[in-house]
Amino acid sequence: MKNHRSDILFFFGVLLMLWTAYAVRDVLLLIYVSALFAVVISPAIGFIQKMKIGPWRPGRGFAIVFLVLMFALAGTIFMVFAFPPIYNDAREFAADWPRHLATLSEQIRHLPFGAKIDSAELQKYAGEIVGGAGGLFLNLAGGVFGLFTGMILTVYFIIDGERVFRWAVSLFPLEEQPRLSSTLLHSENRMRNWLVGQAVLMTSLGLASLGVYYALDLKYFYVLALYAGVANIVPIVGPISALTLSSTVAAAQGSPTKVLGVIIFHAIYVQFESALLSPRVMRSTVHLSPLAVIVALALGGSLAGVLGALVAVPTAAVVAVFADEYLVKKKNEAVEAAGAVGATG
């Protein structure tokens, strides 16, 4: 009876914990994102500490303050110079896109099988989709408090992260702590490398798209370039969607030359990224299949929106490292141990 009572209490305790976690999921997500940023930024702290100006060498506190100030400066420059044109393009795009799509659909109706396309329905769906995208830009200001809270949490994770790490590992059985600690450090390195590598690939496509779209005089080129960079986090589907969107905008401008220029640019860039850039940037990361990335993005997006989608793939990378260590390697160790026993027997 005592054992059953303990099991029942444990079951309801787990349910209570799950319910509490769901109720405060936004806060937990903010803490998790802050920890991810701390993992990525921590090596930069060590790099700054290694700098030497005469006899003076910066301490850890100075390195953290200096890095935070650099991020604040970069954010200020972005908000002053980059955000206004992006916002204006997004607002104009949200207002004009349904009309452009209706015009394109009318032109498509003259093509074979085009008569079956309902332009009114397309305009309705386009309005809903772009309205949601425009709403995302309009609601960015609402996350200012969360941004500053996340920055403060990130700083504290950098300062006290090692002690939190040791405390978390100490909660597990003593014989499992060395392996768990090694796996966590390995997953931390892989996740950091993935995040940095993916950020490089996304930034590369975004900047290249910005230059090409500007040279082609493509309308809404700020928003289209931003979308191309962000969408590059999704293998295959992301670049294809960026190509489709930019080609549609070029076609709405009535310029076959711009459509051809967009197609040629994306075709060349895909070859450049897959043959040269991606193998060099992502060589030290955990390799996730495109299906795993898409599933992770879908689950993260459905659970926590855009922010959940962005942290879903690094989380999948950590899960892949743990699966390799505790499922694949342990199974192989058990098979080898069984073989050794059979050989001695």
pLDDT at site 284 = 60
pLDDT at site 104 = 66
| 8 A C-beta contact, residue 209 and residue 228 | yes
Q: What is the per-residue pLDDT across 187-203, written as a single tens digit (0 to 9) for each?
A: 888 888 878 888 889 99
Q: At what angle do helices 83-108 and 237-252 cross, to 10 degrees?
A: 70
Mean pLDDT of 273-278: 84
Selection from 322, 201, 192, 170 nearest residue 270 by Cα: 201
Lowest mean pLDDT among 3-7, 65-69, 252-256, 319-323: 3-7
pTM passes above 0.75? no
Confidence bin at 257 (pLDDT 50/70/90): very high
217 pLDDT above the threshold of 90 = yes
Q: What is the per-residue pLDDT across 55-103, written as a single tens digit (0 to 9) for each?
A: 888 888 888 888 888 888 888 898 888 888 888 887 887 777 777 666 6
pLDDT at site 283 = 65
Q: What is the per-residue pLDDT across 235-245, written as a single tens digit (0 to 9) for each?
A: 777 888 899 88
The CA-atom distances, in angstroms, between 232 and each of 202, 239, 241, 243, 274 are 6, 6, 9, 11, 12
| 8 A C-beta contact, residue 33 and residue 307 | yes
| 8 A C-beta contact, residue 28 and residue 21 | yes
pLDDT at site 186 = 85
Domain ranges (residues) in the chain: 174-331
230 pLDDT above the threshold of 80 = yes
Lowest mean pLDDT among 179-193, 198-212, 263-277: 179-193
Mean pLDDT of 120-124: 53
